[in-house]
Structure 1
């Protein structure tokens, strides 16, 4: 990927107006940004995309939540963090109750990547310009207070800049650095769009090197979603305990833990054990319930029904 320049420009025009079901988003973008150029990145709030696509439904957020929940991640009091049909993990599935008619809520676009592609193709047809398009929404961060915008839909741009294999100025090979370019652009655009300003459209300029050729939409924002088995926080702390005790959601606990981790965990429960790469031997069985939950969470279970010999990868197909 080409180097990013040392300067970008982010603009959000006033006067976009109210978006209703059936609003032509391409016409809206072209009117709001009449000087679009090749290499621009157009950023749209998910709210106007949802409104234009008729995603307003009657009822409350709580009433709409079950239909937008694929998997409960965590619940604390009235707050539910869930995975929604779009693959996003968000509070209340990203259902919005602001700036919408009383007695109604707004669901996220059904397929935000497809929405971004449609706008990109429409802009190309009407203006001849090759731009990238992002659809953004606001989300919290697990380890920090506050929210930031992120891209839930993307077209015409690589969403991730994987630095694996590159070497820094000191000769150190990079392994895990991979900036989420589209999320960084979403955050930058939100600084000029704001939440209460009536500016739901922005354009980012100076990053033409990141925009893909006409007809190449890229992998889309959904490709940034972690697989369940690779998500170290697929369940909240309370929910993980319940799932382990119930023998549910095995994929949420990831690949089987190394034998050494299993041995250490058993010892914390007062059960002595020794282990090799593919087998852990317990000196005594102990209480079946906590041991079964521990084995389920770590991906190890008794081999052939022998409670004193565990092997990896024997999770029951439940959950």
Structure 2
């Protein structure tokens, strides 16, 4: 354990353009070696969802999608391409809101993983100029994070924590932040209930979204034009949780105040 007064974060340069079936763990291990740094046991590796989805071939081609009736109705209501709407429907359990927002319509959906997000997390940016492609979220981001952690451990004998992140909007707040959608060992929530604050008062409801806080901070080193999809955090105090899962962030529907 290190002291709580400082944390180091650095982006790994040299991660190549990722293609289907690439080994992300090997890319990370190679980039770390090239940086001249050595791994430390408490390191946490934050990986952008985009390269995970590319490696897992989570790609659909718009030209190959045939929209159904519901997709065409939603398209008419918001102006989004009906084929893209169909891709959203295929990745979702519920459509919560349809908005004719610029530039191409907005669909708020509940993803099959439970996330409530724009367009079911489907993205079209930073795809290497491949117009007409859609990038979907990983099927199981927690499993993706575990594979990366295992791959790094196989190369280095150090198993870091791993967070897979995506960029989400937030209820009642403008703009976007990175959030954790997949975890290996990193606890999603640190429960402070029953512990005392700095003045000795017992905390009643405080729960720290630990992995989300790290994910949000990683966005500072992952600007959209920088090609730095991997960030290492060092010096944080944390204890590995073998059952870690980002799905613990999904609020049960009976507690959802915004549905």
TM-score normalized by structure 1? 0.69
The 5 A counterparts of 1:139-150 are: 139-150=168-179
Following the alignment from structure 1 to structure 2, what is the Cα–Cα distance between the partners of residues 4 and 154?
A: 24
Asked if the contact 1:80/1:92 (under 8 Å) is kept, the reply is yes
Secondary structure of the corresponding residue to residue 214 of structure 2: helix
Match of 2:238 among 210, 213, 224: 210
Q: Deviation string for 1:125-144 (max 9, x for gaps)? A: 22100210000000001111
- The equivalent of 1:164 in structure 2 is 193
Q: Distance in 1 between matches of 2:3 and 2:225?
A: 31
What displacement does 1:74 show? 2.1
Write out aligned runs for 1:225-236 (5 A). 225-233=250-258, 235=259
C-alpha distance after superposition, 1:254-308 (max 9, x if no partner) = xxxxxxxxxxxxxxxxxxxxxxxxxxxxxxxxxxxxxxxxxxxxxxxxxxxxxxx
Cα deviation for residue 36 of structure 1 reads: 2.1
Unaligned runs of 5+ in 1: 236-319
Measure the CA separation in 2 of the matches of 1:3 and 1:164.
Answer: 23
2:51 & 2:110 partners in 1: Cα distance?
22
Aligned equivalent of 1:44: 47
Instruction: Give the match's secondary structure for 1:33.
Output: helix
**Secondary structure at 2:191's aligned position in 1?**
coil
The reply to whether residue 85 of structure 1 matches residue 112 of structure 2 is yes
Q: Determine which structure has greater relative contact order: mean sequence separation of CA pairs < 8 Å that are 6+ residues apart, divided by chain length.
A: 2
Distance 1:174 1:19 in 2: 45
**2: CA distance between counterparts of 1:221 and 1:185?**
13
Shift of 1:169: 3.3
Question: Is residue 165–residue 175 contact of structure 1 (8 Å, CA) maintained in 2?
Answer: yes
On the 8 A contact 1:43/1:203 being kept in 2, the answer is yes
Runs of at least 5 residues in structure 2 that lack an aligned partner in the other structure: 63-82
Deviation at 1:4, TM superposition (A): 6.5
| Residue aligning to 1:64 | 87
CA distance in 2, matches of 1:79, 1:232: 21
Q: SS of the residue aligned with 2:29?
A: helix
Out of 153, 157, 161, the residue aligned to residue 132 of structure 1 is 161
Distance 1:194 1:181 in 2: 22
- Asked if structure 2 preserves the Cα contact closer than 8 Å seen for 1:117 and 1:217, the reply is no
Q: Could you say what secondary structure the match of 1:75 adopts?
A: strand
TM-fit CA distance, 1:61: 3.1
Task: Name the CA distance, whole Å, in 2 between partners of 1:4 and 1:92.
Answer: 41
Partner in structure 1 of residue 247 of structure 2 = 222
Cα separation, 2, equivalents of 1:4 and 1:224: 27
The alpha-carbon distance between structure 1 residues 145 and 168, as it changes in their structure 2 partners (threshold 3 A), is same
Q: Note the C-alpha offset of 1:3.
A: 8.8
1:55 matches 2:38: no
Contact 1:41 1:211 in 2 (8 A): no
2:66 aligned partner: none
Q: CA RMSD of the aligned region, Å?
A: 1.6
* 1:185 has 2:184 as partner: no
| Greater C-alpha radius of gyration | 1
